[in-house]
């Protein structure tokens, strides 16, 4: 049996000097290694291609294709207004290129390209090379691209002879002529030209000479960027690196090469970095890695890796400044908000759990020296440290989490011991406070007597009726009745909804007397149900995520053998938390 050892040529650089600057040139904080020796600043690490000048950092260009390739994600369909908002976000963050879509392919993209949508970033139109048998000047698809309000055109061109034969139905030479003529037409129109060599890596493995001919045709015609695409997403990082090196050795400079990776094996980020190590200088990707099938290379992960890790930051720079990088978490979450989906809690760098710990020994070490369990300072990407409370947590977790919320409790305070005991008892019943920050804060403040009684729910009732309507169709109706007392006045509300939980939510928030106006901007954005044991009598955990008009976001939990009761607990906590947050009595951190 052969033993395989995994070693990256970058490992020797992991303790290299702090980056001298990113974008504007100011140094970024980076936890120092305590073991490896630093690499001299004027000497490239072993395995790296030589630098152009000693100590000089090379420029990497970031190309966002969220609005084009990202729109291939199932369930995502951007409107013109969505595209305008996202393009603005990308432009302000400092991306070099924003690919907006395919003008002429659909009314949305055609309208979007009616005017330039970026201030600083190059605004890129995507489209096919000219059709075989038609001149560039007579191709209507090419005319739309040339007439669009774009700064650049990114053509997609076949570079695998198998696809040329099967998909295009033309000869290899005709495909090369189409690439050349299309690039020349873009340049003649005063636009920057680039070519996405589709299926390049698979094509190279099948017929390296023809794949290289396609790349050379684009480069020789004057394309600024020749982008090597792993369209099927199956190429491995070692293969990417080896093939890119062969492309450069064939005569196409790395400063004219880009990488476009798909995530079908979960390695789009790794493949992009491998291509950079091999010499490419443009990286294509999407926000939060969205894209067809398994997605594209995630720029939200790539950007901080390039800027914060000495293996890259010592050798390269991007157009993004230190201040812009600190807005990375906000960019990621704002994008998810626009898509109306919950952020990935475990996303690298920006996830709510990216800098979180709940083991007591870890929390104790973090309190002494954060770098013991953090690979970069969370504030560099706009995230924050979280020490979660759970049945695995010790006193250090609880004290740190309470203090972060502005709650000071002495280590020997009996109320702290009671709180720890209560949390562990409740988590044994099925509660999960590490995922319900607002419910934990309310629990802690109730132990300290800091939660006022805004209103009292006297009773509620939910009914589900399944019947035939006048047309003989089956109809299911859910209705809820809630009785609350607010400032001594009893109020009864009735509501119908899409299911009993929705009806209960509407009825509960329908009339809270003097507090009604305060919860007008409260919205439930996510609802999760977890069955904790088997059978129809199973205990159920409900997690609800809420947000308000001020951008606050928080989570609450309820547990019961009755799903309606569990939902009611979480709904109540959400409303009470919102009222306390309005009075700055809670949520100083949890509702970020």
pLDDT digits 0-9 by tens, 532-547? 876 777 899 999 999 8
Indicate if the pLDDT at residue 427 is higher than 90: no
Cβ neighbors of 159 (< 8 A, separation 6 or more) are 197, 198, 199, 200, 203, 204, 210, 211, 214, 215, 229
Instruction: Calculate mean pLDDT across residues 293-315.
Output: 97
* pLDDT more than 90, % of the chain: 68
pLDDT at res. 257: 98
- Whose tokens are 């191709």? That residue is 139
Give the model confidence (pLDDT) of 331-346 as tens digits: 998 898 888 787 898 9
Instruction: Calculate mean pLDDT across residues 520-534.
Output: 86
Instruction: Calculate mean pLDDT across residues 31-41.
Output: 40
Looking at 99-113, 133-147, 480-494, 518-532, which range is the least confident one? 518-532
Greater pLDDT, 367 or 435: 435
Instruction: Calculate mean pLDDT across residues 377-406.
Output: 76
Looking at 59-73, 311-325, 354-368, 524-538, which range is the least confident one? 354-368
Q: Phi and psi (nearest 5°) for 232? A: -85, -10
CA-angle at 424, arms to 423 and 428, nearest 5°: 115
Indicate if the pLDDT at residue 6 is higher than 50: no
Going by pLDDT thresholds of 50, 70 and 90, the confidence category of residue 390 is: low
Going by pLDDT thresholds of 50, 70 and 90, the confidence category of residue 551 is: confident
d(CA 268, CA 302): 10
Please name the residue ranges forming H helices in 126-233: 140-147, 161-163, 172-188, 200-206, 208-220
| Mean of pLDDT over the chain | 87
Are the C-beta atoms of residues 248 and 218 closer than 8 Å to each other? no
d(CA 368, CA 530): 36
Q: Phi and psi (nearest 5°) for 227? A: -100, 120
Indicate if the pLDDT at residue 33 is higher than 50: no
Angle at which helix 172-188 crosses helix 208-220, to 10 degrees, equals 20
Compute CA 394 distance to the chain's CA centroid, rounded to the nearest angstrom: 32
Tell which residue, 62, 67, 200, 39, has the closest CA to residue 121. 62
Instruction: Take residue 341 and report the two structure tokens written for it.
Output: 């989906």
Going by pLDDT thresholds of 50, 70 and 90, the confidence category of residue 91 is: very high
Distances in Å between the Cα of 503 and the Cα atoms of 171, 469, 508, 510, 564 are: 63, 20, 9, 10, 11
Compute CA 423 distance to the chain's CA centroid, rounded to the nearest angstrom: 32
CA atoms within 13 A on the CB side of 210: 22
Looking at 34-43, 119-128, 245-254, 381-390, which range is the least confident one? 34-43
Greater pLDDT, 108 or 33: 108
Compute CA 261 distance to the chain's CA centroid, rounded to the nearest angstrom: 16
Number of residues that this document lists for the chain: 592
Are the C-beta atoms of residues 378 and 328 closer than 8 Å to each other? no
Instruction: Calculate mean pLDDT across residues 261-275.
Output: 98
Instruction: Take residue 335 and report the two structure tokens written for it.
Output: 């994008």
Angle at which helix 563-582 crosses helix 500-508, to 10 degrees, equals 30
Instruction: Calculate mean pLDDT across residues 103-113.
Output: 95
- Whose tokens are 């002495």? That residue is 410
d(CA 331, CA 301): 12
Are the C-beta atoms of residues 104 and 130 closer than 8 Å to each other? no
Looking at 40-44, 402-406, 483-487, which range is the least confident one? 40-44
Are the C-beta atoms of residues 215 and 259 closer than 8 Å to each other? no
Q: Phi and psi (nearest 5°) for 492? A: -115, 130
Instruction: Calculate mean pLDDT across residues 223-245.
Output: 98
Greater pLDDT, 546 or 357: 546
pLDDT at res. 337: 80
pLDDT at res. 389: 58
Instruction: Take residue 109 and report the two structure tokens written for it.
Output: 């993209």
pLDDT at res. 370: 64
At 581 the three-state DSSP class reads helix
Instruction: Calculate mean pLDDT across residues 385-400.
Output: 66
Q: What is the per-residue burial (b if ≥16 Cβ within 10 Å, else e) of 207-220?
A: beebbbbbbbbbbe
- Whose tokens are 């980056």? That residue is 19
d(CA 123, CA 348): 28
d(CA 435, CA 531): 16
pLDDT at res. 401: 77
Q: Which domains does the chain have, with CATH numbers?
A: 58-320 (3.20.20.70), 356-447 (no CATH), 455-511 (3.30.160)
pTM: 0.69
Indicate if the pLDDT at residue 328 is higher than 70: yes
Indicate if the pLDDT at residue 589 is higher than 90: no
Are the C-beta atoms of residues 591 and 438 closer than 8 Å to each other? yes
- The partner residues of 546 in beta bridges, in order of sequence, read 524, 554
State the first-to-last Cα distance of the chain, in angstroms, to the nearest integer. 53
Are the C-beta atoms of residues 121 and 96 closer than 8 Å to each other? yes
Instruction: Calculate mean pLDDT across residues 463-476.
Output: 90
Indicate if the pLDDT at residue 407 is higher than 90: no
Instruction: Calculate mean pLDDT across residues 188-199.
Output: 98
């Amino acid at each position: 049996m052969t033993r395989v050892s995994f070693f990256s040529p970058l490992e020797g650089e992991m303790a290299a000097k702090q980056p001298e600057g990113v974008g504007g040139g100011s140094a970024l904080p980076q936890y120092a290694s305590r073991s490896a020796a630093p690499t001299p600043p004027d000497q490239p690490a072993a395995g790296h291609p030589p630098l152009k000048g000693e100590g000089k950092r090379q420029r990497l260009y970031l190309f966002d294709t969220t609005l084009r390739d990202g729109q291939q994600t199932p369930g995502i369909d951007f409107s013109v207004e969505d595209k305008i908002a996202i393009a603005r976000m990308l432009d302000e963050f400092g991306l070099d290129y924003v690919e907006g879509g395919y003008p002429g392919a659909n009314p949305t993209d055609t309208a979007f390209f009616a005017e330039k949508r970026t201030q600083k970033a190059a605004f890129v139109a995507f489209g096919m090379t000219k059709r075989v048998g038609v001149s560039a000047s007579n191709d209507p698809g090419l005319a739309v691209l040339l007439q669009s309000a774009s700064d650049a055109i990114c053509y997609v061109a076949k570079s695998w002879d198998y696809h040329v034969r099967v998909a295009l139905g033309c000869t290899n030479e005709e495909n090369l002529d189409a690439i050349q003529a299309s690039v020349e037409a873009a340049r003649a129109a005063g636009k920057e030209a680039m070519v996405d060599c589709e299926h390049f890596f698979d094509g190279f493995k099948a017929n390296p000479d023809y794949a290289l001919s396609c790349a050379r045709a684009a480069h020789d015609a004057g394309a600024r960027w020749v982008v090597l695409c792993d369209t099927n997403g199956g190429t491995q990082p070692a293969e990417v690196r080896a093939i890119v090196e062969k492309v450069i050795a064939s005569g196409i400079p790395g400063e004219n090469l880009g990488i476009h990776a798909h995530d079908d094996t979960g390695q789009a980020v790794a493949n992009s970095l491998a291509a950079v190590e091999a010499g490419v200088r443009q990286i294509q990707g999407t926000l939060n890695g969205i894209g067809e099938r398994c997605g594209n290379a995630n720029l939200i992960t790539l950007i901080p890796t390039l800027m914060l890790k000495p293996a890259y930051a010592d050798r390269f720079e991007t157009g993004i400044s230190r201040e812009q990088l600190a807005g990375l978490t906000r960019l990621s979450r704002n994008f998810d908000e626009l898509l109306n989906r919950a952020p990935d809690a475990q996303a690298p760098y920006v996830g709510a759990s990216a800098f979180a710990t709940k083991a007591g020994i870890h929390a104790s070490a973090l309190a002494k020296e954060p770098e013991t369990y953090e690979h970069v300072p969370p504030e560099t990407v706009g995230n924050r440290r979280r020490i979660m409370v759970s049945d695995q947590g010790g006193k250090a977790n609880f004290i740190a989490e309470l203090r972060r919320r502005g709650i000071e409790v002495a280590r020997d305070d009996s109320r702290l011991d009671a709180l720890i005991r209560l949390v562990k008892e409740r988590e044994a019943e099925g509660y999960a406070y590490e995922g319900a920050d607002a419910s934990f804060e309310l629990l802690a403040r109730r132990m300290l007597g800091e939660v006022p009684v805004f209103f009292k729910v006297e009773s509620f009732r939910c009914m589900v009726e399944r019947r035939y309507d006048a047309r003989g169709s089956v109809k299911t109706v859910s209705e809820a009745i809630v009785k609350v007392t607010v400032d001594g006045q009893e109020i009864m509300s009735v509501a119908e909804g899409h299911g009993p939980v929705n009806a209960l939510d509407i009825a509960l928030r329908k009339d809270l007397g003097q507090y009604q106006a305060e919860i007008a901007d409260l919205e439930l954005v996510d609802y999760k149900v977890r069955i904790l044991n088997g059978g129809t009598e199973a205990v159920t955990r409900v997690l609800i995520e809420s947000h308000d008009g001020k951008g606050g976001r928080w989570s609450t939990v309820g547990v019961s053998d009755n799903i309606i009761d569990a939902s009611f607990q979480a709904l109540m906590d959400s409303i009470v938390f919102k009222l306390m947050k309005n009075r700055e009595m809670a949520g100083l951190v949890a509702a970020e």
